[in-house]
Every structure is written in C-alpha cells, then in structure tokens.
Amino acid sequence: MDRRVVVTGLGLVCAIGDNTEACWSSAINGVTGIREVISVNTENCYANKGAEVPIKSSELSGENYDRSSLLCIKAAGEALADAGYAVTKENSDRIGVIIGNCVGGAASIDKYFTDEIKGSGGDSSDILKMPASAIANNVAKHFGLNGTTANIVNACAAGTISLSYACDLIRAGKADAFAAGGSDSFSSLAFAGFHALHALDENACAPLNHNSGITLGEGAGILILESYEHAKARGAKIYCDVLGSGVSSDAHHITAPRPDGQGQMLATTRAVKKSGLDFNDIDYVNAHGTGTAKNDDAEFLSVHTLFDGNDHLSVSSTKSMTGHCLGAAGSIEAVLTVKAVCEDIVPPTIGYNDEDLVRLKEKAGAIDFVPNTRREKPVNYAVSNSFAFGGNNASIVFAKNPHEIPDHTNKDRIFITGIGELLGEPRCEIEADDYKEHGIKMAFWRKLDRFSQLQLISGMRALSDAKITVTDDNSGDIGIIIGTADGPMTEIVNFQKNVIENGTANGSAFSFPNTVYNAAGGYFSIFAGIKGYNATNANGVQAGLQSLCYAADVIRNGDESIMVASGTDENTDVTEYLYGKLGLVHGKLREGLGEGSVSLILENENSANARGAKKYAELAGWASAHKSVEFGTLKGSESALKAAVEEACKAAGITPADVELICGFADGNETVDSIEKNMCAEMFGNITPIQLKHCIGESRAAASAEQAAYAAKLIADGKYNCVLAASFGVGGSYSAVVLKSV
C-alpha cells in the first residue's frame, strides 16, 4: 500500500457556488448556474448563455493577477485549509502546484489590447498576466509552495491530466503532496471562438440529451493530493483514494472526437486497469458530457462499449449545471466525483422533459443516466472523464476505500534515440522541402499556425531520425510531451484583436482551434498517428527540459515505451512586440529572441534494444525544482536551481565532480547570467558552460530542449561521457538533466 495517494482537501468555485459545500449542495439538488452572460458583450450573437462566477476579480485575493489565477488561488486556499495543511519553511519544498488551463490569462489579453486599440494604451504589467505559465507560479507564490510546479495546458482535459501527473510524481517519491487541479475564467476569446464554431447552445446546455451545444462556464477546482504515509503522519482526514489514471490521444481531428470513441476508451481502460479494477466494479462515471452531438454520441458509445453488463452503473454530466469550464472542467468534476464517493450520492444531469426521458431510455439501455434527480446509492469506485480539443483524453478513478493497485514501474534505463531540430535567430526559414520531406501535404500544413508548424517538423524529424514508424500496433505505446513558454500567443492575440475590433459575433472559426496551447500536440499526433499519452506543459524557458523530465516520468511509470519530448516557441511580430514592451528584446537580453522546436525521442532500454535503435546518450538523471518568486522575476530563486541539479546528479548516481561539461542557459539578462555563473562556481568549480544562445538566440523552450539535444550529440560523438543541462523559468522553476555515455 506504499503507493497510496489520497485526497485530503477540496476547494471549488464555479457558477453554482463559491465553496465546495455550496457547489455540492447545488449539484445534488439540480440547481443550475447558467444565466445570461454579463462579462462579455454578446451583441449580434445567436447565443447569450453562460455559467459565470458572480464574484468580481477585485473581490478575490486582492493581488494584481489575471482572473484565472485569482479563481485558482481562491480554490487552493479553501483546499489547503480543508486539508489542514500548514505550509512551513521546512515542508514547503515537498508540496508542489500543478494547474490545468486552456488559453492562459485570457481576461488580461482582452484588457490589454482593448486598452491599446481604443487609444488609452495597454498597461505593460498586463503582459505578464497573459501566458498560462503564470498561473501555477502565482498560486505557488501566494501560498509559499516550493515543490515542483507545472502548468498543464491540454484544453478541456487539462484539469484531469494535472491530477494524474501529480499522483504519478507522488508515487515516484518526488513530492509529499500537491495542490493540483485547474482554472479558467470566462472570456470573450473563448465565447467568440465557440460561437464561431457554432458550438454554443442557444439555451442552457443539455448534455447527454438535446446535444445542441455547450454552455461556457468558469471556475477553479483544487484537490490536495498526498501520499498516504504523509497524510497519516500529520493526522490528516482522508476523503478517498486516487487509484489509476489514463491519458491518450485520438489522432483524429483537432476539434472533433473520434466517432468510434477509441481514444476515449483507451484512456478509461488504462485508468480502470491501472486501478486494479474491472469495469463491473465502477459505480459512477462523471461523464465529460459537453452537450454537443459529436462529443456526446462518442461518449455514449464509449460508455456502452466498456460498461454494458454493469448493472449498477450510474452516469451523469454536472456540466448541465456548471457549464463547460474548459481547463478547470476536469478538476471541478473531480471534486464533485470525490464528494459522490464520500456521500454515496450521484448528482443528476438536469434539463430533461418527458419527451427527453423517452429518448434517453432508448439510448441508455440498462445504464442509469440519472436524469433530473440525484441518485442515492453506494459509490465505492468512480471514474471522472475529460476529453478535449486536439483529441486529448484523460480519465481518473477515485475509491472510497484502499485498494491494491498494480505497480507497472519500468526501471529500465532510458535512452535518447532520436533528435529533430528546427532553430532560427531571429526566425526559422521554413521551405517547402521542410514539410514535404515527411509527406506533409499543403492541405494539412495550411491549417497549422506557426507554433504547430514548428512542432510538426521537429517531431517528424525526430521520429525519422529514430527510425520509428508509427503503426496501429505501436501507436498506443508512443506518447508526446511538449514544453513551451508562450505557446500559440500569436494566434491568441490576433484572434482577440479581431474580436475587439469586429465584435464577439465575428470570431474566426479557422483560427480559434489554434489558440489552444495543445493544438500543436494535437496536430502532431493526428499526422503521425500517435495515440498514447499526450500533454503540453507551459512553464517558461525551462519547459523544453521539463518536457524531458515529464516524458521520462511517463516511461518510468510504465505508461509508454517511447516518448517524444519537445520544446517549442515561436518568434513573430507579436512575440517581438510583447517582449519589446517588457524591455526584453533590446536591452535586458544580449541575445535576441529566436524561435524553433527541438524534439528528442526517449525510449526505454527494452524497446530500444528490440528495435536495434541507435543510442545517442542515456538520460541518467532528471529533476525539476521550484522556489516561489513573483512571476516575471528570478531573483531569490537560486536555491531551486541548485536543488534541481543536485537531485538530477543523485538520480544519475554521480556527484557534481563527475560532470565534464555544462550546456548553459545564459541569455544576456544580468539576473539569469549571474544565477548560472554562481551555481557553476559553487558546484562545479572551473567548468565554463557552453552558451548555445549565442548561436540560436533566446528561443525559450526550444533552447532548453536544444541544450539536451546538443549534449546528447556530443556524447554520441565520443567527446564527453557525462554532461549536465539545466534551465530556468521566470517565477522560480528549474529543470536539470544528466546525460551519460551509453
């Protein structure tokens, strides 16, 4: 039972309540939070319904953060208090923050460009509120949490993937606890986007029923997850256990699910099997249940395929009351699912009339879809499902009582077996041959924004270099982790400016799908046919290296045999403009901005040997660390860099004295450069780091991934036996990897 992860605290804010108990009471009593939209101008829109939180941003924590961060801080504060978790100097580095999100600080993006376009001039302080990278860092700073920090940006599956990742890190012994979940605020960006896709319901959404569209919502859900031993030692109350989770890709379409539900079923099957359960053991499924025909039809098929024969299963969609809260949806629903397990009450799906009930009976068969009225029944095991743009799927299982779960930990060595690079300073020169070399047709290529184009080329180059052909037989054994600092900020900004200038009713249906951070991973999985684990992490410059750490954790956990780990960031006129407004293009950075994407293939030893793969280097040790400082700064976080380096060296079975070369992260910023210089002097004596950014510019996540790629190539060429790469993220996050000769 030493792998037990338990829930000890809950925090929730959404349209049906400003705390967990209020939300739970509303949910089980069928009280909706869906009303006419207030915060977004819906003039000339065919729909005007939304599920907004009736609390002004100024009434939240009082800090100058984006609304997504403020909602998350409120939920996290409740969860920490509920858990009785007293954060101290002694324990703060053992509790981390992992937050799911869809499009970052959308409210701040709207405010900044509205001010600019309407002539009052944008406030540059709003720029640091725009990226999703800020959210987990802001939560960590507010509460003084110094454990591993990450922002998972897989759209509507992000909240559930955050919980899954947190549990995996706890089981790996890399943290005692996490404040994990998701947050998203109501925004003109999201409303205009779904309106452009004609995906909004004119009335309150009716998931698993009318299937005429979604109703957007907002909110945040946070769970305090802990190892059982840690929770027991501090005398914490325990709500329930978290058993298994599953993450997968559809590899089908950027906005629509696979009609056959295969990707959904893979995620749910993984979650149930990793829990040591059978489908007949499950008492309740909190469905993704968005209210669109394609999503609900695929989920009906998935549920029937997996659970037909289970005569005690109940299924419901709480989105009928909360609306669809995007990156927060999975964690909001996880909190409600935990309450269902604890209280033995299944919340209903509301909105059925008598005619609807007749149709439901035909579609539901023997499965209880809990229309209109809650169901009181034993709930020993429950599944919460989340599916998303990009074809991302995630499921997680909660249990009333402890249950032995299989240990699939793979202790094989992990090797880098492929490298794909596309780098440029200030920008990459992409020619037709760059995409044609992998059979990428123009019809597909032109759908992609630049961020996705960069990722697709480097990812395909890495697969080609590793001589990996994706087939139906191995597609589920390969996964993707993409790290980024800024994501598709160009698409986000251009879409938002169009909405400001032309109205909410005139958003672009063509560009909206590319505004979500995980679109690049979605397009890559679709083209390559990869159906395994798929996550995107937005966490600053170091996100490229953190993607390697994350990917290695997925392999070590036994979820996949092969992972594509990437760092990707673009440099466009929008990028130059925003960084220029912060004074970071000419002045604080000696190296100019660059862009690119670097992908590395990580593979466990058994898989690599079976394929006869070439091995560039062994990924012998990896670690991420965090010391909370204000987002946009680094000063005061130096101890986290040292901690990440020490932990990576320890995991690799070496001491700093064994390191022969350091691939450095200095970029000309005085604070950045001094942190690296001081670390090297203190830990490595006279080693002078190689500074790759002299050649490639500050290409952020791509640069940090290139640090590892360059090190691997040096080792493969026989020039070094042991190389360290480390990098930073503003706000105090650091990652480090140790590569060794094969």
Summarize pLDDT for 533-565 with one digit per residue, the tens.
Answer: 999 999 999 999 999 999 999 999 999 999 999
CA–CA distance, 733 with 644 (Å, rounded to integer): 9
Q: What values do phi and psi take at 592, rounded to 5?
A: -75, 170
Please identify which residue in the block is written with the tokens 């549920």: 303
**DSSP conformation letters of 239-291:** -EEEEEEEEEE--S-SSS--TT-HHHHHHHHHHHHHTT--GGG--EEE----S
Q: Is the dihedral of CA 7, 8, 9, 10 positive or negative?
A: positive
Q: Is-contact 656 662, C-beta < 8 A?
A: no
Q: Is-contact 416 547, C-beta < 8 A?
A: no
What is the per-residue pLDDT across 173-211, written as a single tens digit (0 to 9) for each?
A: 999 999 999 999 999 999 999 999 999 999 999 999 999
Q: What share of the chain is helix, strand, coil (3-state, %, to 5)?
A: 40, 20, 35
Q: Is-contact 595 702, C-beta < 8 A?
A: yes
| Strand pairing report for 95-100 and 177-184 | parallel
Q: Which string of b and e fits 510-532 if b means at least 16 CB within 10 Å?
A: ebbbbbbbbbbbbbbbbbbbbbb
Q: What is the pLDDT of residue 384?
A: 98
- Looking at residue 592, the DSSP 8-state letter turns out to be P
Residue 432: Cβ within 10 Å count: 10
Reply yes or no on whether 240 is catalytic: no
Q: What is the pLDDT of residue 119?
A: 80
What is the per-residue pLDDT across 495-528, written as a single tens digit (0 to 9) for each?
A: 999 999 999 999 999 999 999 999 999 999 999 9
What is the per-residue pLDDT across 254-296, written as a single tens digit (0 to 9) for each?
A: 999 999 999 999 999 999 999 999 999 999 999 999 999 999 9
Q: Is-contact 80 179, C-beta < 8 A?
A: yes
Structure tokens at 288: 């993704």
Q: Is the dihedral of CA 72, 74, 78, 83 positive or negative?
A: positive
C-alpha 117, offset from chain centre: 31
Position 591 confidence tier, pLDDT thresholds 50, 70, 90: confident
User: Cα separations (Å) of 608 from 196, 285, 553, 650?
Assistant: 45, 38, 17, 24
Catalytic residue among 230, 324, 403, 626: 324
Q: What is the pLDDT of residue 588?
A: 60
pLDDT at 589 over 80: no
Structure tokens at 234: 């501090």
Angle at 487 between CA 255 and CA 140, to 5 degrees: 110
CA–CA distance, 624 with 48 (Å, rounded to integer): 43
**DSSP conformation letters of 490-556:** HHHHHHHHHHHHH-GGG--TTTGGGGSTTHHHHHHHHHHT--S-EEEEE-STTHHHHHHHHHHHHHH
CA–CA distance, 318 with 417 (Å, rounded to integer): 44
Q: What is the pLDDT of residue 1?
A: 46
Q: What is the pLDDT of residue 587?
A: 53
Cβ partners under 8 Å of residue 446, min gap 6:
none
Mean pLDDT confidence for 334-356: 97
Structure tokens at 245: 């989770």
pLDDT at 409 over 50: yes
Q: Is-contact 422 450, C-beta < 8 A?
A: no
Q: Is-contact 543 455, C-beta < 8 A?
A: no
Q: What is the pLDDT of residue 590?
A: 62
Using alpha carbons, select from 736, 453, 712 the residue that is nearest to residue 597: 453
Write the single-letter amino acid at 246.
Answer: G
Mean pLDDT confidence for 456-478: 97
Residue 21: Cβ within 10 Å count: 13
pLDDT at 328 over 80: yes
CA–CA distance, 277 with 275 (Å, rounded to integer): 5
What is the per-residue pLDDT across 426-438, written as a single tens digit (0 to 9) for each?
A: 999 999 999 999 9
CA–CA distance, 9 with 253 (Å, rounded to integer): 37
Using alpha carbons, select from 691, 637, 640, 684 the residue that is nearest to residue 664: 691
Q: What is the pLDDT of residue 632?
A: 93
Q: Is-contact 385 285, C-beta < 8 A?
A: yes
How many secondary structure helices (H) and strands (E) does the chain include? 24, 24
CA–CA distance, 238 with 83 (Å, rounded to integer): 9
CA–CA distance, 561 with 415 (Å, rounded to integer): 11
Catalytic residue among 14, 45, 72, 156: 156
What is the per-residue pLDDT across 635-670, written as a single tens digit (0 to 9) for each?
A: 999 999 999 999 999 999 999 999 999 999 999 899
Q: What is the pLDDT of residue 715?
A: 98
pLDDT at 672 over 60: yes
Share of the chain above pLDDT 70, in %: 99
Q: What mean pLDDT is reported for the chain?
A: 96
Reply yes or no on whether 156 is catalytic: yes
Cβ partners under 8 Å of residue 17, min gap 6:
23, 24, 25, 26, 33
- Who has greater pLDDT, 631 or 586? 631
Catalytic residue among 195, 210, 230, 288: 288
Cβ partners under 8 Å of residue 717, min gap 6:
none
Write the single-letter amino acid at 72.
Answer: C
Mean pLDDT confidence for 35-63: 95
Reply yes or no on whether 324 is catalytic: yes
Cβ partners under 8 Å of residue 473, min gap 6:
none
Mean pLDDT confidence for 148-155: 97
Mean pLDDT confidence for 384-406: 96
Question: Which range has the worst mean pLDDT, 115-124, 352-361, 382-391?
Answer: 115-124
Position 121 confidence tier, pLDDT thresholds 50, 70, 90: confident
pLDDT at 597 over 80: yes
Mean pLDDT confidence for 314-326: 98
Cβ partners under 8 Å of residue 509, min gap 6:
196, 197, 198
